[in-house]
A and B are shown apart, each in its own frame.
Chain A
């Protein structure tokens, strides 16, 4: 079994309401923050049997719905 992390973030041009709220809270606590964005991290473990083309499999999984390309970007960690 091999484990990967899919990191999903809202696109820069889309208003990130959660990121803005967290940013405001950090500012209120006088932290020197410039910007905060809130996304999600999805842990995906694949069977060993298919390790040869894990990258394609992961991309297929992600493109079938783990992220919405209209408003999000993704990166895969662990490849």
Chain B
């Protein structure tokens, strides 16, 4: 599958994501933040992690208002898969493609560790690395209820490492094609990486 990988100034997981997709027989292509792209030129896209625009203003705020995001929104509106990882998740929330917002971790510390995640749908448990300072998922009570009622919660932390409301680690859009999570599947898909739960994680 041809998959766009968005690059902003400060994105630093772009090459990992590129390799992750390549190793799973996809055909990734980098897309630059200042350019619009033809939405028919890719079948899906990833917004990778990092510190786009130095996390200035709010994490993901400036990136979410970049030209390339117009194309990402258009791609999403056609029902094509869009995945945001870590800073990419923050960007998709700021862009309004996903509900909620990611705030500074409850204990103000940058967390760099492994996290066990549980799917509320089928109780499946996986383990993926996390590396974030602003990973505390937050939504108002009304919005949170809607997120649960519409089956939008993808993953919850088994142990609440960052203070996220309802231990939420990842959510999806109402339509289901836009997904975002703080943990990094692209950092755990081969044995030598310490875990393989990122293999065939998406697409």
What residues make up the interface of A, taking CB atoms closer than 8 Å to B? 13-15, 17-18, 21, 64-66, 68, 70-71
The number of residues on chain B lying at the interface, defined by a beta carbon within 8 Å of a beta carbon of chain A, is: 21
Chain A contacts for B57, CB-based, 8 A: 65-66
- Cα of A13 to Cα of B163 in the assembled complex, Å: 14
- Cα of A20 to Cα of B104 in the assembled complex, Å: 12
A-B contact pairs, 25 of them (CB 8 A): A14-B103, A14-B138, A15-B103, A15-B106, A15-B163, A17-B103, A17-B104, A17-B105, A18-B108, A21-B108, A64-B65, A65-B57, A65-B61, A65-B62, A65-B65, A66-B57, A68-B61, A68-B94, A68-B101, A70-B101, A70-B140, A70-B143, A71-B101, A71-B103, A71-B138
Chain B contacts for A71, CB-based, 8 A: 101, 103, 138
Nearest CB of chain A from residue B106's CB, rounded to whole Å: 7
- Cα of A27 to Cα of B95 in the assembled complex, Å: 38
Chain B contacts for A70, CB-based, 8 A: 100-101, 138-140, 143
The residue in chain B whose Cβ has the minimal distance to the Cβ of A70 is: B101
Chain A contacts for B101, CB-based, 8 A: 68, 70-71
B73 interface residue (CB < 8 Å to A): no
- Cα of A64 to Cα of B138 in the assembled complex, Å: 20
- Cα of A74 to Cα of B61 in the assembled complex, Å: 16
Chain B contacts for A66, CB-based, 8 A: 57
Nearest CB of chain A from residue B68's CB, rounded to whole Å: 15
| Interface of chain B residues 67 through 110 with chain A (CB within 8 A) | 94, 100-101, 103-108
Contact partner of A18 (CB less than 8 A), chosen from B64, B104, B136, B139, is: B104
- Cα of A17 to Cα of B136 in the assembled complex, Å: 11
- Cα of A14 to Cα of B106 in the assembled complex, Å: 11
Nearest CB of chain A from residue B61's CB, rounded to whole Å: 6
Nearest CB of chain B from residue A53's CB, rounded to whole Å: 22
Chain B contacts for A17, CB-based, 8 A: 103-108
B58 interface residue (CB < 8 Å to A): yes
Chain B contacts for A64, CB-based, 8 A: 65
- Cα of A70 to Cα of B147 in the assembled complex, Å: 15
Q: Mark B104-126, 1 if CB is under 8 A from A, else 0.
A: 11111000000000000000000
- Cα of A17 to Cα of B106 in the assembled complex, Å: 6
